[in-house]
């Protein structure tokens, strides 16, 4: 069973929240992300490196140089 987690910052805005869950893929692990208002809908699968890069950008810690960098989604095998 997948254990989904929701940010503690979503308390006031539950309709605009995403959830994440760790997903083992072979030797590597990945992170799944979904819309909390549509749990049966599509979800993204990100490698841990892509997840970390996303968190850096969301927290405002990304440099201008890295802000334009594209992160490709995992296709079953994390990057």
pLDDT in tens, 2-53: 788 987 777 776 677 889 998 876 666 789 999 988 989 998 999 888 988 9
Q: Work out the angle at residue 25's Cα, subtended by the Cα atoms of residues 22 and 30, and round it to the nearest 5 degrees.
A: 40
Confidence of residue 69 (pLDDT cuts 50, 70, 90): low
- What's the pTM value of the predicted model, to 2 decimals? 0.63
**Which residues pair with residue 23 across a beta bridge?**
30
Domain count, the chain: 1
- Phi, psi (degrees; rounded to nearest 5) at 77: -130, 115
In a domain, 22, yes or no: yes
The full length of the chain comes to 79
Provide the residue range defining the domain that includes 26.
18-62
In a domain, 72, yes or no: no
Q: Who has greater pLDDT, 64 or 3?
A: 3
pLDDT at 63: 57
In a domain, 78, yes or no: no
In a domain, 57, yes or no: yes
In a domain, 3, yes or no: no
In a domain, 50, yes or no: yes
């Amino acid at each position: 069973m997948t254990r989904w987690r929701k940010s503690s910052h979503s308390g006031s805005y539950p309709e605009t929240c995403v959830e994440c869950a760790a997903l083992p893929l072979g030797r590597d692990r990945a992170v799944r992300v979904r819309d909390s208002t549509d749990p049966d809908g599509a979800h993204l699968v990100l490698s841990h490196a892509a997840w970390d890069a996303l968190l850096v950008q969301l927290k405002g810690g990304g440099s201008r140089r890295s802000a334009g960098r594209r992160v490709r989604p995992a296709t079953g095998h994390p990057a």
